[in-house]
Copies of this chain bind each other. A is one copy, B any other.
Amino acid sequence: MGKKFKTRYQIPFYESDVNHNVKLPHILSVALQIASDQSVSLGLGDERIFKDYNLVWVVSEHEVTIDRLPRFNEIVEIETEPISYNRYFCYREFRIYDQNGEKLVDIFSTFVLMDYDTRRVHDVPEDLVAPYESEKIRKILRGPKYKALEKATDTLYHVRYFDLDINGHVNNSRYLEWMYDVLDFNFLKAYTPKKINLKYVKEVQYGSDIESRLEQDGLITKHEITSNGYVNAQAITQWEKI
C-alpha cells in the first residue's frame, strides 16, 4: 500500500446542487487536485515530470461508489492513496469521510502517463513512481465492458471557453456534466447516484460540438459522449431513490 495524503474540504455553496448535495463532477475535480497536491509534496509535480520525462498524467477511468454525497457546507476529509501500478497503469484510491470518520464516497481511479510529443501511453518509469510506495503488480485491473449504445437519445452541446483547462483541454469533470444534464430534472431531484463507472476514451477538442447520448433502463443509465464520429467517453450509473 502506498503513501497516503489527506486534506479537509468544505463543500461550497456554488458547488452544491438542488438536493443540497455536492455536484458530483466537482468531487472528481477536487480529487484530481489532491492527487496533484500529493505529487507536488513528493517533489513530483506536473512541471517536474514534464521537464524531466516529457510526460503528462492522464486519468483514464473512475469507479465511484457512493454511500451518501457530501452536503452543502459539510466539512469532509479526503484521503488519497496510490495503490498499485503495472507497466502502463497506475491505480489510485480516493476516500471521502465525514466528521465522524464514516466513509461517504470511494473513488478508484486509473491513470496513465502520456508522452507529450507522441501523445501515446508511455511505460511507467520506476524512479518516477517509487516515492509513492505503491505496489508493483502484473495484473491489469479492468473496469466494466461499456457496450456501444444502440437506442440512445442524443443531445447536442457546444464546448465552451470555460470548459478548457490551462493546457487547452476540456476539463475531465465536464464529461459528467454533459452526461447528467440530459437526464430529466424530476429524476435528478428524486434519485441519487450510488455507483458510477466512467471511462475517458478520446479527448474532446475545443470548437467541437459533442453529443451526450443516453440509454435509460430503470435505475441504470448508460452514457456516451461522442464527437466527429468518435466515442470520447462512456459511463454507466446506478441510481437509488432519495
Contact = CB atoms under 8 A, between A and B. Distances in A.
Interface string A49-75: 000000000000000000000001000
Q: Considering residues A13, A20, A180, which has the most beta carbons from chain B within 10 angstroms of its beta carbon?
A: A13
Interface of A: 12-14, 16-18, 20, 23, 25, 29-30, 32-33, 36, 72, 160-162, 164-168, 171, 173, 177, 180-181, 183, 185, 188, 206-207
A29 B29 CA distance: 16
Given A18-B168, A161-B183, A166-B18, A36 B23 contact: no
Given A161-B185, A162-B181, A36 B18 contact: no
Number of this chain's copies in the assembly equals 2
Given A36-B13, A171-B14, A162 B185 contact: no
Given A14-B32, A33-B12, A161 B188 contact: yes
Given A162-B177, A185-B206, A185-B207, 15 more contacts: A12-B30, A12-B33, A13-B36, A13-B165, A14-B29, A14-B32, A17-B161, A17-B162, A18-B166, A25-B162, A160-B181, A161-B185, A161-B188, A162-B180, A162-B181
